[in-house]
Chain A
Amino acid sequence: MDELDVEPPLTLIPGVDSNRKQMCFAWGPGEMLVYETLFPKECAEKRPGCPNIFIVRKDQDVYSQTLRKLFNESHGIFVGLQRSEEELAGKSRKAQLVRVSKNYRSVIRACMEEMHQLAISTRDPELQCQHSTQVSILSAMELIWNLCEILFVEVAPAGHLLLHLLDWVRLHVCEVDSMVREVLSSENPSKHKDFWNAVDSFVLQGRMDDARHLLSKEASANPTSMGMCKILDDLMKKMPILSIGNTQTLTEMELKWQHWHEECQRYLQDGTFASNFHMESICKILLGDENAILEKKELMTTWYHFLVTRLVYSHPTVKPVELRFYAQSSLDLFLGGESSPEPLDSILMAAFEFEIHQVIKECSIALSNWWFVAHLTDLLDHCKLLQSHNLYFGSNMREFLLLEYASGLFSHHSLWQLGVDYFDHCPEYGKVYLELHIERIPLNTEQKALKVLRICEQRQMHEQVRSICKIMAMKAVRNNRLGSALSWSIRAKDAAFATLISDRFLKDYCERGSFSDLDLIDNLGPSMLLSDRLTFLGKYREFHRLYGEKWFSEAAKLLLMLMTARIAPCSFWMTLLTDALPLLEQKEVIFSAEQTYELMRCLEDLTAGKTDNQKLQVDDVETTKVEILRLALARNLARAIVKEGTLEGS
């Protein structure tokens, strides 16, 4: 497959003089920054230049309101196709694929219709131009897709092939009907300047009944030509056509057609229509006379209309493999060497030649976004029509195109969600592309972060989950929202960060004497075990709750346990012992003798642990605190011993 050498598209940056300065750039997730600068940087002198930084984007279509519907609806069709029953074989599978193809086309048409409405309703000439352009492009896409459906998905055999192609031409080419309406609504239809054009157009499109209807107007208006009209009408009526569901074989059809052809020939040679130029011309067309058909170029407007007309009247049982020869000669004859083929022509020609890869390649070049080629290629891949290559980017062309398309969606603030499903169905690189793209999604709000998280969790993307939670936790810490930070750390299973935040909570408590985010801490549950510091925070809060609800002995037990089980960090012991004071000073004895001994041991451990240096630096407040504690503990011990030594009751 030879490469097409296409000039890379040029984008102009206003205000920058590329002759005198250079440009530099920076990549972002969805767009690029471009600015003017000078290299080498050391010899830069102050020169007035372009003061602006430019944001440059690639996927402009992603930002179009109307196309968004196209993306959304085609996404549904795509996902449905991937999940569809592969077990269906043969005819039912083909029928299913044809249905999918028709669905895609109806989505394109709906979008086209909406765009058209926008174009005719807007007053802004620039917008109107833009919308009209879009309509043309969508129309071209539908034209190409329709042809691909007939040739590659439907795989119409000889006979049916021509019927489908006729439908295709009728649908896409010419405004015959508007011309006909004008003619019919006039006083004397057969005298209208476009009358014979209308008849010719019908004949060229094989619409015999419509042609006959018009012809009858001529017959009634012009008695002298009634004879000729009747004969022509008869010929048109008798023309053999293969209809879907007809049980004729091709050979039978060919035979009938041959007879009919000969009959037409006889009438022509007899000079039956000699006096009426128009009817003679029609008869020639019926006989498949190339020159006669070519004379109606202006009515047919395209070479592919010419192709189909030729086939209808010279070779209606054309086989798919024979198409390419007729197509090439039709194009040559139609253009007549006076103009050269345009991109659309090349694409259609490649389709007639059954060069699927060529079709896709040329479409990729001609169209500005990947939507069309990605979906079409995927469908053709499901029809098992694409050879597989072993590739560098993406395992094959289908995947390559889907990856390109989905990547483009990620630059949009809500369409990225569609992109996720496309990546899911790219077996080779889908996962890593998703990883790279999804971590770049801006987490402006909690809801968005949770949405992204859910997607990552569903796909076991653990590293991305951890990273997103960490980013959110960090943001919360910076804004001093400790509760939020803590819950993100827990979700990230980030023990180190949880410890850090717990320390902040505790520090805050020491400074202010109260906790923030009580709800969160009270309901930690098993996630408390994530880090030791977090466990302590939870348990410490529990101590305060017990104390507040006057469950003094439970509180006391818990407090002691926090120190003896080494859950509390040493730095906090002083605070805990100070918290014990009110319990020691209660009227009734709360700490038992045993517990009091433990507390004393803790206090001694704490003070003994300090070095001599530190002892010298200990200030008065510290010393007083320790003294008060010692006193309170001693007093409690005395009361406890007495209480425990006394017999309860008698």
Chain B
Amino acid sequence: MFVARSIAADHRDLIHDVSFDFHGRRMATCSSDQSVKVWDKSENGDWHCTASWKTHSGSVWRVTWAHPEFGQVLASCSFDRTAVVWEEIVGESNDKLRGQSHWVKRTTLVDSRTSVTDVKFAPKHMGLMLATCSADGVVRIYEAPDVMNLSQWSLQHEISCKLSCSCISWNPSSSRAHSPMIAVGSDDNSPNILAKVQIYEYNENTRKYAKAETLMTVTDPVHDIAFAPNLGRSFHILAVATKDVRIFTLKPVRKELTSSGGLTKFEIQIVAQFDNHNSQVWRVSWNITGTVLASSGDDGCVRLWKANYMDNWKCTGILKGNGSPVNGSSQQGMFNASLGSANTSLQNSLNGSAAGRKQS
């Protein structure tokens, strides 16, 4: 990997989240300075900040894009106990010339009594829906029935997880064989043995979300959780960021006919566990095909994990800060950090043979 560009983010405080839009041509950043910034990529690859505005009265923890089928929509969540939905308004022509756009607040979701720690839009086939989770241990699922009117959102489900929640992940599978599913992670630090990952599944009969599984082996605080994109598999893959990186597979076994009807039972297996980050792992996230998992941890590194064609997971790359201060000159610098160590070794061996091996 190589660093292609650097962008001066210009936030006045720590950045907590950045998010690419669906096509990778826009990005949103959020910070403890209570603002969100939106950046657009121009034709020649430069990034420009096209909007920057105060979104909350506390640190903004996460920012996320809705699917472009719903237009240009963002959601943010904050320490100020709210989650907000924003929509971009196509500006006046002179705004366009100045390269600015406007984002308006469509709705504020105020049901939480504590810091809202995560907000995620549901897969697009479920309509315009999002879930939030809070330190008060409640996951809330909201829906906007009319996609042309984003000021109307209704609280559809409230899931009480009993533990302070830190992260949620929707199962992206749109297969009709799978009911909507959401995984919730808890970073509760109290010394009880409750499992820190819960998986809720939507039950068609009761029209409610019910707990389908808990991952009993995860007992340390969980900081992030991510379902992998489904490549037409019959089973699910879930990555968990806790005191190490863990990857689980969940294979639906059979639909048990209990009184609540139709809950799926899963066979859970752990397929990989990595403690290279030395201590806590704070983020995990999959690439768009679900073939590479990235994680970041206490060791200050970002690591990439990939399964080879024999289905063994290995670390295939590390990103690490080099510690040298940046000379804040050009905003859009082009870097070419390394051609990759493996690359040069092949070149060396060929050069070595052409030039004649030097005997020591």
Residues of A bordering B, CB below 8 Å: 1, 3, 6-41, 44, 46, 49-58, 60, 130, 133, 136-137, 139-140, 143, 173, 297-298, 301-302, 335-336, 338-339, 342-345, 365-368, 389, 391-394, 396-397, 400-401, 407, 429, 431-433, 436-437, 439-444, 467, 470-471, 474-475, 477-480, 500
**In the complex the two chains form, is A55's CB within 8 Å of B287's CB?**
no
Residues on the A chain within 8 Å of B297, using CB = 22
**In the complex the two chains form, is A366's CB within 8 Å of B32's CB?**
no
Residues on the B chain within 8 Å of A28, using CB = 20, 24, 27
Cβ distance B357 to chain A, nearest Cβ, rounded Å: 6
CB-CB under 8 A for A442 and B345, given A34-B302, A394-B309: no
Cβ distance A131 to chain B, nearest Cβ, rounded Å: 12
Could you mark each residue 286-302 of chain B with 1 if its beta carbon is under 8 Å from any beta carbon of chain A, else 0? 11110100101111111
**Complex partner residue of A57 from B1, B348, B353, CB under 8 angstroms:** B1
Residues on the A chain within 8 Å of B311, using CB = 391-393
**In the complex the two chains form, is B309's CB within 8 Å of A400's CB?**
yes
Task: List CB contacts (< 8 Å) of B341-355 with chain A.
Answer: 341-355
**Complex partner residue of B341 from A10, A52, A140, CB under 8 angstroms:** A10
B323 close to A (CB within 8 Å): yes
CB-CB under 8 A for A133 and B232, given A21-B300, A46-B13, A440-B288: no
**Complex partner residue of B288 from A297, A366, A436, CB under 8 angstroms:** A436
CB-CB under 8 A for A478 and B90, given A11-B338, A35-B18: yes
Q: How far is the CA of A338 from the CA of B352 in the complex (A)?
A: 14
Cβ distance A6 to chain B, nearest Cβ, rounded Å: 7
B223 close to A (CB within 8 Å): yes
Cβ distance B249 to chain A, nearest Cβ, rounded Å: 10
Residues on the A chain within 8 Å of B229, using CB = 436
Closest 8 CB pairs of A and B: A18-B300, A16-B321, A15-B326, A342-B349, A28-B20, A28-B24, A344-B349, A18-B321
**Complex partner residue of B319 from A11, A27, A389, CB under 8 angstroms:** A11
Q: How far is the CA of A553 from the CA of B6 in the complex (A)?
A: 70
Contacts A/B (CB < 8 Å), 28 sampled: A10-B318, A13-B320, A14-B321, A15-B322, A17-B321, A17-B323, A25-B296, A28-B20, A28-B24, A29-B24, A34-B302, A39-B298, A51-B8, A51-B326, A54-B3, A55-B5, A56-B2, A56-B4, A58-B1, A338-B360, A366-B342, A367-B343, A368-B339, A368-B340, A431-B232, A439-B22, A441-B23, A471-B69
Q: How far is the CA of A432 from the CA of B175 in the complex (A)?
A: 12
CB-CB under 8 A for A136 and B347, given A27-B287, A302-B353: yes
Q: Which of B104-112, B176-184, B190-198, B277-285 is found at the contact surface with chain A? A: B277-285
**In the complex the two chains form, is A26's CB within 8 Å of B23's CB?**
no
**In the complex the two chains form, is A11's CB within 8 Å of B7's CB?**
no
Query: What is the chain A residue whose CB lies nearest that of B146?
Result: A500
Residues on the B chain within 8 Å of A143, using CB = 350
Residues on the A chain within 8 Å of B351, using CB = 136
**Complex partner residue of B301 from A18, A58, A392, CB under 8 angstroms:** A18
Could you mark each residue 85-105 of chain B with 1 if its beta carbon is under 8 Å from any beta carbon of chain A, else 0? 000101000000000000000
CB-CB under 8 A for A39 and B223, given A25-B302, A27-B285, A55-B5: yes
B324 close to A (CB within 8 Å): yes
Query: What is the chain B residue whose CB lies nearest that of A8?
Result: B315
Cβ distance A53 to chain B, nearest Cβ, rounded Å: 5
Query: What is the chain B residue whose CB lies nearest that of A52?
Result: B6
**In the complex the two chains form, is B357's CB within 8 Å of A13's CB?**
no
Q: How far is the CA of A344 from the CA of B32 in the complex (A)?
A: 51
Cβ distance A187 to chain B, nearest Cβ, rounded Å: 28
**Complex partner residue of B18 from A15, A33, A441, CB under 8 angstroms:** A33
Residues on the B chain within 8 Å of A12, using CB = 3, 319-322, 337-338
Q: How far is the CA of A247 from the CA of B338 in the complex (A)?
A: 55
Residues on the B chain within 8 Å of A21, using CB = 300, 321
Query: What is the chain B residue whose CB lies nearest that of A7?
Result: B341
**In the complex the two chains form, is B15's CB within 8 Å of A35's CB?**
yes
Cβ distance A504 to chain B, nearest Cβ, rounded Å: 9
**In the complex the two chains form, is A10's CB within 8 Å of B320's CB?**
yes
- Give me 9 other A-B pairs in contact (C-beta within 8 A), A56-B2, A474-B68 excluded: A8-B317, A10-B341, A11-B337, A24-B296, A29-B22, A52-B7, A136-B350, A140-B347, A345-B349
**Complex partner residue of B298 from A22, A54, A433, CB under 8 angstroms:** A22
Query: What is the chain B residue whose CB lies nearest that of A366?
Result: B346
**In the complex the two chains form, is A24's CB within 8 Å of B283's CB?**
yes
**Complex partner residue of A37 from B14, B286, B319, B325, CB under 8 angstroms:** B14
Q: How far is the CA of A338 from the CA of B358 in the complex (A)?
A: 10
B53 close to A (CB within 8 Å): no
**In the complex the two chains form, is A133's CB within 8 Å of B339's CB?**
yes
Cβ distance B333 to chain A, nearest Cβ, rounded Å: 9
Query: What is the chain A residue whose CB lies nearest that of B322?
Result: A12
Query: What is the chain B residue whose CB lies nearest that of A500?
Result: B148
B253 close to A (CB within 8 Å): no
